[in-house]
Structure 1
Amino acid sequence: MLAVLAGCTGGSRDIGEGKPGSSGDAIQIFPRDGAEDVGPERRIEVSIPDGRLERVRVTRVEDARRQAVPGRISDDGLSWRPAGGAGRLALASKYSVEAVAVDAEGRRSARNTAFTTVVPDHRFIGYFKPENRSTVGTGMIVAFEFSRPIRDRAAVQKAIRVTADPAVEVVGHWFGRDRLDFRPAAYWKPGTEVTVEVGLRDVEGAPGVFGSQRRTVGFTVGRSQVSLVDAAGHTMQVRRDGELISTVPISAGAPKTPTYNGKMVVSEMHEVTRMDGRTVGFGGEYDIKDVPHAIRLTESGTFLHGNYWAPADTFGSLNTSHGCIGLRDVKGGGGSAPGGWFFDRTLIGDVVEVVNSPDRKVAPDNGLSGWNLSWQAWKAGSALR
């Protein structure tokens, strides 16, 4: 039974904890996951060889604003195409695609992909999160990823202003030349209103390369929820506004593939997704196409997710994954099971901290993990010192 409890840590979006499955991708999505500089003449296509598409959601994200891309599933249920003028891709944008299909035997499968479109050579933009007008957890970090390497980091950082009400000092920290994150010294206070002013238009980020954005967006910090995962004790303590509301049995990474230690921040949530070990270097050890209640914790592939295939007594007693944190769940996802219960009570920006794992501490640039740096070290990464 332990062989089916494979887990996740790696560098792709379709990754996770699972059991062996078919080697083919039932859901085909084009452009491919992770594609960059996609031209406007390309078209988004979703298709399956048989069965039917149950749901397809395509979203364009520009300057932290989401816009649904209209489209329809064909009469035979085998494909999805954008509607009318929505078929032409916008420049300098990020697109996400979520698709769920059902085969002839009623089995569900899912895929979640993303790609970015071309930015003119003499321009750069910053893809950033969280979304405009969203409500997030107290651990949210404002993260910018730039489409071109930035040479004049001071000029770019100076053109981005992050303020809070009630007021608190917010400082930027550079990870290399294409990523800039902002955070305060400690988690945001619940109820804080955060404003992000992006004044990059005509700012020269590199010789002859200028910014093209001028936007103001904002988000609200909701209640505090911090969950402490004890990998050795096989438990997760969920605290809401400082009070313990539940202790949930979990299964973490096996001794040879342990879970990262440290503070991680929820960056994505999927009711159902596919997790394939081949995308993270684990060969064909697992491929589960309908993992329920998947919550991303790192960019490299650490998830906290529901698990319906492991025996119930695994949770609270054994660590058997390839790095993920598993909660007991039911096939298709059930709100009353621990996986569904936690998913329904989670926000993007909530903190999950792992302790007592034999692995190293998660890198601060792996997802939104910057809380693992001290305030002094964080401020040292600013270009405006």
Structure 2
Amino acid sequence: MSGSRLRLWWTALAGVLAAVLLISGCGSPPPDSPKPTEAKVAFEPGDGAAEVNPAAPVRATVDRGRFTSVALTNADGKQVAGELSPDGRSWRATEALGYGKTYTWSGQAISDDGKLVPVRGSFTTLKPKQTIRATINPTDNAVVGIAMPISIKFDKPVQDKAAIQRALTVRTSVPVEGAWAWLSDRQVDWRPKEYWPAHTHVSVLAKLYGLAYGGGSYGLADLSTEFDIGRAQIVKAAVGTHRMVVIRDGREVANYAASYGEEYDPGRNTPNGTFIIMEKKPVEIMDNPRYGYHDVRKTWAARFSNHGEFIHENQENAAALGKVNNSHGCINLSAADAKEYYDSALIGDPVEVTGSASSMPPQYDVYDWLLTWDQWKAKSAI
């Protein structure tokens, strides 16, 4: 083939290829038209879920849309309190649910392109074998002494003490070292390592509702309290001195003539130990069948042990006050001194008894301060 013919052939081929490319480019099909997008509703817990913990988070969300209405209703038709987000794309329950109940979703969502989607679904919460009630002390707004423990008591024994302890929080207005200790399978207390600093504000939260206690038992309700520690007042009860001294904020404010328990009868000793004022009564009726007295009326009584010890008036024993220890274990004061001390005392004030022939075993409620710090920490479940 001559050179001129070859050039003509390549020129023709190039023209054909260009035409094919032009046709191909101009003939591309148009892009697909946008397809409608449907709003997608999701639930937490999921639709049909069973054995749901009633304290777990409950939410409904919508993707590619927003809720125009949404409600969660129990079997009695009562709506659960909830909150819709500002953009309308999520809703959450703002109250805990009940045990052993069925909840149903209802409402409507609208997709971003205007298509309506119904909100439908349901779930069931767990039904415990039993629920266990708890109480907390001190109660809200109390003002208590510097030895006051925080005490949570359960109306039935609990098994999973570690889980319960992890649900307990103590916050203080100043740093305070302290720890929880299980005094029985129905009681857990928190006490500071040393006495509370005066005027500390304390907040306690126990997230117990929905908490598994073990053996099919669950917490009945959350607990909380806020209270204050008052001034720092300590009773120094040195048995051998026949005096009871009151120290307030580091200064001696009272020094009373007293009579303690009979020293030579262990059953009548005022025992050694650090106790707290547990209750105060203007009149206390006392009985002790072992020693032959019944319905004895004493005034200005401040209990510091469930073994039976009080600080109280005993005007009938005036001759012994400041001289002889002859009570049945209580700290006897004159009527005037007992009234003055009674008026000054707070629940939770420490009473430090020393110099006695016997000591109190750590078994009577409240015995928190009869344990060393190491013994106390050993009673923690975690």
| Superposition TM-score, scaled by structure 1 size | 0.63
Q: Within the alignment, does 1:347 sit opposite 2:346 as a pair?
A: yes
Say which SS state the counterpart of residue 232 (structure 1) adopts.
Answer: helix
Match of 1:367 in 2: 365
**Corresponding residue of 2:231:** 223
2:160 partner letter: D
Q: Is the 8 A contact 2:247 2:254 kept in 1?
A: yes
Pair member with larger Rg? 2
Matched, 1:259 2:270: yes
Letter aligned with residue 292 of structure 1: T
1:1-385 matched pairs, under 5 angstroms: 122-254=130-262, 255-256=264-265, 257-278=268-289, 282=290, 285-310=292-317, 312-329=318-335, 337-360=336-359, 362-384=360-382
Please name the residue that 2:97 is paired with: none
Amino acid at match of 1:305: H
Deviations 1:177-217 (A, max 9, x none): 11211011111111100111121112222311111121321
Q: Is the Cα–Cα contact under 8 Å of residues 267 and 367 in structure 1 kept in the other structure? A: no
Rounded Cα–Cα distance in structure 2 between residues aligned with 1:136 and 1:365: 23
TM-aligned CA deviation for residue 242 of structure 1: 0.9
Do the aligned partners of 1:135 and 1:220 also contact (CA within 8 Å) in 2? yes
User: Take 2:324 and 2:295, find their aligned partners in 1: how far apart are those partners?
Assistant: 20
For residues 120-154 of structure 1, the C-alpha deviation after alignment (integer angstroms, 9 at most, x for no partner) is 97121223322221101111111222211121110
The letter of the residue matching 1:325 is I
Q: Deviations over 1:257-285 (max 9, x none)?
A: 1011010001111111211113xxx26x1
CA deviation profile, 1:75-113 (whole Å, cap 9, x unmatched) = xxxxxxxxxxxxxxxxxxxxxxxxxxxxxxxxxxxxxxx
Q: Would the alpha carbon gap of residues 365 and 200 (structure 1) be closer, same or farther in structure 2, given more than 3 Å must change?
A: farther
Q: Secondary structure at the match of 2:184?
A: coil
Q: Which has the higher contact order (CA 8 A, sep 6+)?
A: 1
Shift of 1:371: 2.0
Note if contact 2:302-2:342 (Cα within 8 Å) is conserved in structure 1. Answer: yes
> CA separation of 1:363/1:206 partners in 2, compared to 1, >3 Å: closer, same or farther?
farther
For these two proteins, the number of residue pairs brought into alignment is 252
Residues 121 and 156 of structure 1: CA distance in aligned 2, closer, same or farther (over 3 Å): same
Point out the more displaced range, 288-297 or 261-270: 288-297
Query: Relative to structure 2, which stretch is displaced further, 374-383 or 134-143?
Result: 374-383
Indicate how the Cα distance of structure 1 residues 140 and 365 shifts in structure 2: closer, same or farther if over 3 A, else same. Answer: farther
Percent of paired sites with the same residue: 32
Check the 8 A contact 2:138/2:225 in 1, yes or no. Answer: no
Aligned residue for 2:225, secondary structure, equals: strand
Q: Do 2:277 and 2:347's aligned partners in 1 also have CA atoms closer than 8 Å?
A: yes
Structure richer in helix, relative to its length? 2
Please report the RMSD computed on the Cα atoms of aligned residues, expressed in angstroms.
1.7
Structure 1: tracts of 5 or more residues without a match: 1-119, 330-336
Moved more, 258-267 or 121-130: 121-130
- Distance in 2 between residues matched to 1:230 and 1:239, nearest whole Å: 13
Q: What SS does structure 1 have at the residue aligned with 2:352?
A: strand
What TM-score results when the alignment is normalised by the length of structure 2? Answer: 0.63
Counterpart contact for 1:252–1:326, Cα < 8 Å: yes
Q: Which residue pairs with 2:30 in the alignment?
A: none
Counterpart of 2:285, as a letter, is R
CA distance 1:201–1:365, change in 2 (3 Å): farther
In structure 2, distance between residues paired with 1:202 and 1:365 = 32
**1:295 CA drift (Å):** 0.8
Instruction: Say if 1:144 and 1:299 are closer, same or farther in 2 by CA, change over 3 A.
Output: farther
Residues 22-45 of structure 1, C-alpha deviation per residue, up to 9 Å, x if partnerless?
xxxxxxxxxxxxxxxxxxxxxxxx
| 3-state secondary structure, aligned to 1:175 | strand
| Aligned equivalent of 1:19 | none
The DSSP-based 3-state class of the residue aligned with 1:145 is strand
**1:222-271 deviation line (CA, Å, top 9, x unaligned):** 10000111111111111001111121111111121101101000111111
